[in-house]
Amino acid sequence: MTLDHAAPAASGTARPPAPSRSDIEIRPLTEAGIPDWLRAVGVGFMQAPSVSDAELEGRRGGIDPERALGAYDGDTCVATYRTFDQQLSLPGGGVLASSAVTNVTVSATHRRRGLLSRLMTADLAAAKERGYALSTLISAEYPIYGRFGFGPATRSAVWSVDLTRTGLGGRPSGPRDGGRVEMVPLDEIRKIGPELHARFFAGQPGAVSRDDRWWDLETGRITVPSREWKEPFWAAYRTASGELEGLVAYATDRKWDDSKQPGGTVTVQHLFTVSPAAERALWEYVCSLDWTSRVRSGERAPDSLLPDLFPDPRAARIHVDVDMLWVRILDTVRALEARGYEGEGALVLDVTDALGLAGGRFLLEAGPQGARCVPTDAPAELSLDVRELGACYLGDASPLRLAALGAVREERPGAAATAERLFRTARRPWCPDIF
């Protein structure tokens, strides 16, 4: 990877002549530049060609100009890029700050001329300078970010549940464990949601922090025209002693077919819990609503209790199963020492990083009591790119599979199995949020 991707394409291809680096200037955003920058975001994401006052009003508060870059063709913004501070929940209960990347767009008039490459290589180096050991993002398309050292570190599943088949029908409402499910007004959600989410976050590797703005957007206190919002139904699960252990937000569409059969779909927008009892109770609740025949689960953990909490698990099928959070390690020592390890062992990793940020040879000695990672001259046992290290970081990707695929290389027979025992976790990581 070079910093400048503006080199002309190989002869014979139909690429337009690429502007030289000096034609397109990359510079930090200013307050005055926000409207044009947001216009470029709207163009890049094919949302709208212009920015309304309401859009500007709703979006301005979420942008820190010091963490945003624009690429300018003359005075016109043609590419956008922004980061913000995010906390990432790690295996073993640790937390690490991440430089989260968002609002990445290059206008169609300027695509494939190296603008993203310039923005990203500059920003990843700046993120490391700022002291981040990680960068994170959600990738619109799979092929975009691997070349910059990001690896797909969590997966997410969306289930479709046929409510005529679950076997839940006809039961009296309410959990059978003495707890209760109750509707919660929006104002109350704004108060109790963040605290419950903090407890969920602490126990869910791969989860990312939700700031005040997230809650204001989700509870309608801030509205943004490009982000459709309609008040959802919120319900809570409380234990027999009244402790809040789960929340669900869902929307309904009230459809009936020609023969007056209910055909409505319940779409779950958020469901997060801190106990299996809460997870069971809230799924049983949303899958037992009258007038509905289908539930769309929203983004779920790959090891969610769905569908096995239904008497007939075949009532549910996976509609989408896709990579979700991508992790880019910027500081290998800090990142590997920050997470917990369920297995015990030692491994010499030879990490390549084309951007020169996190590469080197490292001895990792890890176990349930903690981890130590130090640069070493010892012979490498497992060679891998920083992209694969990112994919394995939260415990989801399998080093054994990656070795079989040729994506990591064993320098010592059995090294991939050692990595498997060290890196993988019994529970799978999950990031429920798209940012």
Ligand X SMILES: CC(C)(COP(=O)(O)OP(=O)(O)OC[C@H]1O[C@@H](n2cnc3c(N)ncnc32)[C@H](O)[C@@H]1OP(=O)(O)O)[C@@H](O)C(=O)NCCC(=O)NCCS
Site stretch for ligand X (CB under 6 A), options 128-136, 139-147, 253-261, 273-281: 139-147
112 is in an annotated binding site: yes
- 365 contacts 371 by C-beta, under 8 angstroms: yes
The mark string for 179-208 relative to ligand X (x by CB under 6 A, - otherwise) is: ------------------------------
Nearest-angstrom CA–CA distance, 99 and 78? 23
Q: What number of helices (H) and strands (E) belong to the chain? A: 10, 19
Nearest-angstrom CA–CA distance, 265 and 164? 12
Which residue lies nearer to ligand X by CB, 206 or 395?
A: 206
Catalytic residue among 81, 84, 132, 145: 145
Site stretch for ligand X (CB under 6 A), options 137-145, 163-171, 277-285, 293-301: 137-145
Residues 2-61 that bind ligand X (CB under 6 A): 5, 44-45
Please say if 435 is a catalytic residue.
yes
Nearest-angstrom CA–CA distance, 235 and 352? 48
114 is in an annotated binding site: yes
Paired with 299 in beta bridges are 158
**Would you count residue 140 as binding ligand X (CB under 6 A)?**
yes
- 312 contacts 195 by C-beta, under 8 angstroms: no
Reduce the DSSP state of residue 430 to 3 states and report it: coil
The mark string for 61-100 relative to ligand X (x by CB under 6 A, - otherwise) is: ----------------------------------------
Site stretch for ligand X (CB under 6 A), options 134-142, 343-351, 369-377, 413-421: 134-142
How many Cβ atoms are within 10 Å of 222's Cβ, its own excluded? 19
H or E element that contains 35 = helix 34-44
**Would you count residue 135 as binding ligand X (CB under 6 A)?**
no
226 is in an annotated binding site: no
Reduce the DSSP state of residue 179 to 3 states and report it: coil
241 is in an annotated binding site: no
Minimum distance from CB of 157 to ligand X (Å)?
20
The mark string for 104-123 relative to ligand X (x by CB under 6 A, - otherwise) is: xxx----xxxxxxx------
**Would you count residue 139 as binding ligand X (CB under 6 A)?**
yes
- 193 contacts 247 by C-beta, under 8 angstroms: yes
Look at the block and give the residue holding tokens 């975009």: 144
Contacts of 343 (CB under 8 A, 6+ apart): 366, 367, 421, 422, 424
105 is in an annotated binding site: yes
Distances (CA, A) of 27 to 79, 281, 370, 388: 11, 51, 42, 31
Which residue lies nearer to ligand X by CB, 19 or 345?
A: 19
Taking the alpha carbons at both ends of the chain, their separation in whole angstroms is 26
Please say if 145 is a catalytic residue.
yes
Site stretch for ligand X (CB under 6 A), options 53-61, 102-110, 316-324, 346-354: 102-110
**CB burial string 394-428: b at 16+ within 10 A, e below:** bbbbbbbebbeeebbebeeeebbebbbbbbbbeeb
Minimum distance from CB of 47 to ligand X (Å)?
10
Minimum distance from CB of 9 to ligand X (Å)?
8
**Would you count residue 144 as binding ligand X (CB under 6 A)?**
yes
Which residue lies nearer to ligand X by CB, 122 or 186?
A: 122
Paired with 360 in beta bridges are 351
**Would you count residue 143 as binding ligand X (CB under 6 A)?**
yes
Number of residues that bind ligand X (CB under 6 A): 19
119 is in an annotated binding site: no
Q: Which residues bind ligand X (CB under 6 A)?
A: 5, 44-45, 104-106, 111-117, 139-141, 143-144, 147
Please identify every residue annotated as catalytic: 145, 435
For the annotated binding site for acetyl-CoA, the residues are: 104-106, 112-117
